[in-house]
Amino acid sequence: MTAETPGSTEADAPHVLVRSEGRAGFLTLNRPRAINALTHPMVLRIQEALTAWEHDPAVKTVVIQGAGERGLCAGGDIRAIHDDARTGGTATLGFWRDEYRLNAHIARYPKPYVAFMDGIVMGGGVGVSAHGSFRVVTERSRVAMPETGIGFAPDVGGTHLLGRAPGELGTHLALTGAQADAADALLTGLADHFVPSEDLPRLAAELTRAPAHEVLPRFARQAPPGRLAAARDWIDACYAAGTVEEIVDRLLDHGVPEAKETATLLLTKSPTALKVTLAAVRRARSLDSLEAVLDMEFGLSSAALSSADLVEGIRAQVVDKDRDPRWTPATLAEVADADVARYFAEPSEPREIR
């Protein structure tokens, strides 16, 4: 991990540190107090660096990592999104458009893109890591798309990633926002390699000298056991239902205590976000590219920006931290089909996430 420049404060230090060494270019997200939450300028700086390195023959591999000890990236700067949504602003739409374009660029990047998914990796953090060609998790990794808890739906290509997970594991993670540890991230396809966190500095050093496909197998180890593999039976059976209401009923009726606990958890999330998320994950499975999914997600995000639940969810979880959101509508039964359809309506302007 890269520390702040000596004598500087986080406020005046660059929020993305860009450097090259040997054959590797390094991107370090540098807002450790905010767990490196992404801002619009950070997204643009990452895109600028990737574009430059794409055409630089000296840079053979790109590595992205997070400053500090807490994680790669906790997601987008949702306080800024809250303030924009609360006042009817549109700055967030510009942020999302550029962020999703960055996600697509990472996925099709022509050089090895190695993401150190150490610690907390959530929301936008998944977007700048899990679309890469080499995704490294550690014993500290906690990977999640927790958007339903703030009245939102998984974005940054999250429905694309989770829609391709084995069975209904991705549906479970999308609806609950549950955190995947290293083994669970590997099982669901959110990561490729497990490397102990203490070995990341040596891995980074080796990547400056040799190709990623040669280096990573030397550092990869067996991940500690996860939780999802043992839960496949009840997750696949319950989440195969056609609606969120049916999923909750199946979870409540299942004999496994964890299934009932999951039903209780789901009922604390935004009812609208749950229904939109289920529809989005299932639509993502039928779309033919990440870009098509990102286009869909931009529509979902745009609709959410004008919803009451996004503002209320961020207020309850991040601003006031009372953890008591008042969702509108308050129950699954009150969310009409038309409420969900609004999120999938054709936009007034082209999305063009390319």
Catalytic center residues: 76, 124, 147, 155
- Residue 280 to residue 296: CA distance in whole angstroms: 8
Neighbours of 47 (CB within 10 A): 16
Burial category of 341 from C-beta neighbours within 10 Å (exposed 0-12, middle 13-18, buried 19 and up): exposed
Q: Where are the beta strands (DSSP E) in the chain?
A: 16-21, 24-29, 61-66, 71-73, 113-117, 120-122, 134-137, 142-144, 193-194
Contacts of 257 (CB under 8 A, 6+ apart): none
CA 103 from centre of chain: 10
- Chain center to CA of 62: 19
Cα gap 76→237, rounded to integer Å? 33
Residue pair 154/173 in contact (Cβ under 8 Å)? The answer is no
Cα–Cα distance, 3 to 164 (Å, whole number): 36
